Structures are given as structure tokens and as C-alpha cells.
Homo-oligomer: A and B are copies of this chain.
Amino acid sequence: MKPLAPGDTIGILGGGQLGRMLSIAAAQLGFDVAIFTDEPDSPAARVSARTTIGNYLDHAALADFARRVDVVTTEFENVPAETAQALIDAGARVAPNPHALAVAQDRFDEKSYFASAGIATPPFRAIASQADLDAAIAEIGAPAILKTRRLGYDGRGQIRIKTEADANGAYEKLGAPGILEGFCAFEREVSIIAARGWDGAIAFYDLNENEHAGGILSRTTLPARVSAEVESHAQDAARRVLEAFDYVGVLTIEFFVMADGSLIANEMAPRVHNSGHWTIEGALTSQFGQHIRAVAGWPLGPTTRVAAIEMLNLIGDEANDWPALAADPDARVHLYGKRSARSGRKMGHVTKLR
């Protein structure tokens, strides 16, 4: 494709903090940004002069948006397939492509996709009834985790099945089509952030080691405590996914690292990712700048990491510690401008370079 020129417009679906940081990265490269979101007063809209507040299924609004931008990308994976199609029908170039978004939206499709690409996953079964769940538990055993197939994130829509008895009535409690995943006794969690350009070039960031609390990422550190071989396996998996989807942009895969060093894919995010926020200060090209470069048809930038990293999420009222963080010379503070610090809400993050 002909690369976008400075002054061209990047359209972003979604108004959250990822859209905010993508918008800033786009502005630094001289692009204009237009946001499409169903949320009034969103974090991303506040750093862009052009925001459409509309329903993701409003075809007229989407067609209008498509006409006013030079490429459309997204900051969240749960973009309805209908939305992406309406944009494409209106003539928009959409990156990453809707197929990758659709697969990532459904935990069963995603894990099936991993399996078909030769990427190890936990044992998993689709669950459409209590009978399915009972049969799956009989096969996979407990402990296991029952999750909704769609629209879960940050630990929402999940039920832990510690013993077989916990499965009783669990499907009704879940209230939606699900997936049962066998429990992995992992040593640690890592993620890889990878990017692919329109020209097929691929770049990887160093592996992130992640700690979660209450199902939400709380801390990312680099270098991850894994061997070069493990890192190479993660890169192989990411490369296979990027190429199979003919993917353009940044994509993230989360893995469990087992005691024997093997990797088990947990999930993928067809977007920039919380575990990559350290790249703003800690890499020669941030994941946000990299994603903008990719979707704009620019060459990918260098991903070299410049220091050891600790990234801490500020969840809910942890962001109220901003006076102490502002005074800490080691803390590179990022706040997302969210109006209320609801419990479990990602309000900001802090990166420390050592």
C-alpha cells in the first residue's frame, strides 16, 4: 500500500486508554486522529479534535466515519463483526483485519485457532449446556475454569471449578455459551508483543513477565525470567498467528510458562496491550507508535529495550496515590483521565527503568 502521509487521518474505534495512547503516538508522527466511540467524554476523545459518539451498529455514522479517515484501526477486540464490515463496505481500509478480531472475540474459536496452528493450549471444551459441562469435567477434571466464550476481560465472566462439585449449576450461573479450560499449574505468565507491517515485516518486543491480581494485570517486569529458547518459541507462535491472519498492526499473545519450560497459549489480543505500556519509555519505538506505523503503511521501528523494566498498573483508587507518584523521581507516571476510579478500573500506570 501507499503509506499514509503526515496530515492523513487515523480512525480509531474505541475511546479508552489504549485509544488515548494510540492517539498521542499518531500525533507525534504528524497524523490526525478521529475517534469513534459509544462512550461520552472518553479518555481518547479528550486528546483528539474529532470524535464521533455513536452506536457501533449505526451504519450511517460508520459510513460517514469511513469517508473522513484514511485507515481504521481499533483499541479493543470486541468490535462487532457488523461494524468492521460496515466500514469496509463504506470503503474504509481496516487494520487489523476483521477476521483476526472475530477469532479473538471468542475464546473457543481462539483456542481452536491456536491448536490448528500447532500452538499448545490448555485442554478446552465448548460448553453449551450443563450436560456439556458435566461431560467436559469428566474428561478434563478439576481444577478448571469455566469462562464465557465472548465479551469477558480482566477476569470477568469466569467461574473457577476447584472441585467437580463446583460444576453443579455453574452453566446456569455463567448464563452464556462457555468454554471449560483445564487448569495449568504454570510457573509464570508471560506475553509477547509483536507487530507486522503491510509489507510483511515482523518485529518482536522482549518478552513481558506478568503478574495478575484479581484477574487484572498488576505488574510487568523485563527481562522475563525465561530462557532464550522459550523466548524463541513465543516468537515462533506469534509469527505463525501474524502470518496466518495476514495481520497488520500490533498483536499480543499471553502464555503460561510451565515447569519444563514449555509454553501454553492463554489468549491473544489483536491490539496493543497493557503489558506493553513500558515500551513508551523503555523501547526505541513504543507499541503505540509501532501500531500506528504498521496501520499507516510505514516501516516498523526498532523494538530494542533500553533498560530493565518494572511497570505497575494503577487500579481503582490506587491512582489516588498520584501525589506520591508525582514526587517519586523513579516513577514515569501515566494517568488516563478517567472521571471515576471504580474498583477494578485501570486508571493509569507507572513505569520504572533501572
Q: Say what secondary structure dominates the interface of chain A.
A: mixed
Binds B, one of A74-82, A247-255, A332-340: A332-340
Instruction: Tell me how far the C-beta of A183 lies from the nearest C-beta in chain B, rounded to whole angstroms.
Output: 38
Q: Which residues of A pack against B, CB within 8 Å?
A: 3, 5-7, 20, 23-24, 27-33, 45-49, 51, 284, 293, 298-299, 301-302, 306, 319, 322-323, 326-327, 329, 332-337, 339, 348
Do A322 and B51 contact each other (CB < 8 Å), given the known contacts A6-B335, A302-B329, A337-B7?
Answer: no
5 nearest interchain CB pairs? A30-B335, A302-B329, A6-B335, A299-B327, A298-B326
Q: What are the residues of chain B within 8 A of A48 when measuring CB–CB?
A: 46-47, 49
Task: Select A326's contact among B46, B284, B293, beta carbons within 8 Å.
Answer: B293
Tell whether, in the assembled complex, residue B32 and residue A348 are in contact, meaning their CB atoms are under 8 Å apart.
Answer: no
A-B contact pairs, 12 of them (CB 8 A): A24-B27, A24-B47, A30-B335, A30-B336, A30-B337, A30-B348, A32-B46, A46-B48, A48-B49, A49-B51, A284-B332, A302-B329
- Other A-B pairs beyond A28-B335, A32-B46, A47-B47, 18, CB < 8 Å: A3-B326, A5-B322, A7-B337, A7-B339, A20-B27, A24-B24, A27-B47, A30-B334, A30-B336, A31-B337, A32-B337, A33-B46, A45-B49, A46-B48, A293-B326, A299-B326, A299-B327, A302-B329
Contact of A337 among B6, B20, B327, B335 (CB under 8 A): B6
Write the chain B residue with the least CB distance to A24.
B24
CB-CB under 8 A from A23, the residues of chain B are: 47
CB–CB B6/A319 < 8 A? yes
Task: Determine the distance from Cα of A7 to Cα of B153 in the docked complex, in whole angstroms.
Answer: 26
Q: Which residues of B contact A31 (CB under 8 A)?
A: 337
For A339, the closest partner residue in chain B by CB is: B7
Min distance, Cβ A168 to any Cβ of chain B, angstroms: 46
Residues of B within 8 A of A339 (CB): 7
Contacting residues, chain B, for A322 (C-beta < 8 A): 5-6, 30
Cβ contact within 8 Å between A301 and B319: no
Taking a contact as CB atoms under 8 Å apart, the answer to whether B29 and A333 are in contact is yes
Q: Is the pair B20, A24 in contact by a Cβ cutoff of 8 Å?
A: no
A49 CB to closest chain B CB (Å) equals 5
